């Protein structure tokens, strides 16, 4: 089932702007209902800016209204109207000096909200370096205590389309790896079963005691 590109940010928006149940939001965003309840209680997704799924083309107002009227109904995602298949830009982008101080905040948000992104993708999105990303991940950054996770789109460090594209690429990569792992496990299991079957079909060797015993005359 298709999921929003930014599940937690979408869940934040749905919780804040609709009367959908926790189960409905959880089902659409691929989260646990308790996690959605934590968002509503302010215990989860702190600092994450809500993402409007209507603006992003993932939900229609009529679909939200339908599910608000029927608590047993499940939200259905719209077919994407925008082609996000174009490759992301290569290399770090230029940032105005007045935005550079916000970069660590954006990096921390990306690491928490989208751990599927590679360091290279994070670097291209907000115009930083891999060593800087590593220091924030390991919490060894010189100004770590002052860093607060903030959506890079809201900071103007990247566009929503660029972020959505990067997340799509990262998730497709994860899906490919998961598929390859399942196939490898299936092949190994099949080979093991074949070896076990072959071993069971082979006649058992005669015991040394049987071979050396002679009938008594």
Average pLDDT over residues 57-86: 81
d(CA 95, CA 127): 7
pLDDT score, position 2 = 74
Contacts of 36-42 with CB under 8 Å at 24 or more apart are 36/11, 39/8, 39/11, 39/12, 39/15, 40/15
pLDDT > 70? residue 11: yes
**Whole-number mean pLDDT of the chain?**
83
Secondary element (H or E) of residue 24: helix 22-29
Task: End-to-end CA distance of the chain: give it in Å, rounded.
Answer: 78
Say how many C-beta atoms besides its own lie within 10 A of residue 80's C-beta: 15
Secondary element (H or E) of residue 142: none
pLDDT > 80? residue 102: yes
Is the C-alpha dihedral spanning 57, 60, 63, 65 positive or negative?
A: positive
Q: What pLDDT digit, counting tens, does each position of 156-195 carry?
A: 888 888 898 889 888 888 888 888 888 888 888 888 888 8
Looking at the chain, the whole-number percentage of residues with pLDDT higher than 70 is 83
d(CA 32, CA 169): 24
Count, residues in the chain: 217
Average pLDDT over residues 187-214: 70
Greatest alpha-carbon pair distance for the chain in Å reads: 107
Q: What pLDDT digit, counting tens, does each position of 116-164 carry?
A: 999 989 988 998 899 999 999 999 999 999 999 999 888 888 888 889 8
Average pLDDT over residues 27-32: 91
pLDDT > 90? residue 22: yes
Listed residue (15, 94, 20, 23) closest to 48, CA to CA: 15
pLDDT > 70? residue 211: no
Q: What pTM value is reported for the model?
A: 0.51
In the chain, domain spans: 7-69, 89-192
Rg of the Cα trace of the chain?
27
């Amino acid at each position: 089932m298709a999921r929003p590109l930014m599940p937690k940010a979408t869940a934040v928006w749905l919780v804040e702007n609709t009367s959908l149940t926790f189960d409905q939001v959880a089902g659409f965003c691929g989260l646990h209902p308790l996690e959605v309840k934590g968002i509503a209680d302010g215990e989860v997704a702190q600092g994450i800016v809500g993402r409007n799924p209507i603006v992003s083309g993932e939900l229609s107002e009529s679909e939200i209204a339908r599910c608000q009227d029927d608590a047993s109904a499940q939200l259905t995602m719209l077919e994407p109207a925008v082609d996000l298949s174009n490759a992301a830009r290569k290399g770090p982008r230029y940032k105005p000096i007045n935005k550079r101080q916000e970069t660590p905040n954006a990096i921390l948000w990306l690491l928490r909200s989208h751990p599927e992104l590679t360091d290279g993708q994070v670097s291209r999105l907000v115009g930083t370096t891999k060593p800087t990303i590593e220091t924030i991940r390991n919490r060894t950054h010189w100004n770590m205590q002052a860093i607060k996770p903030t959506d890079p789109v809201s900071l103007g460090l990247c566009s929503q389309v660029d972020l959505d594209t990067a997340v799509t690429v990262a998730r497709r990569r994860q899906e490919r790896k998961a598929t390859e792992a399942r196939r490898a496990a299936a092949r190994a299991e099949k080979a093991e079963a074949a070896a076990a079957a072959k071993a069971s079909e082979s006649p058992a060797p005669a015991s040394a005691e049987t071979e050396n015993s002679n009938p008594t005359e």
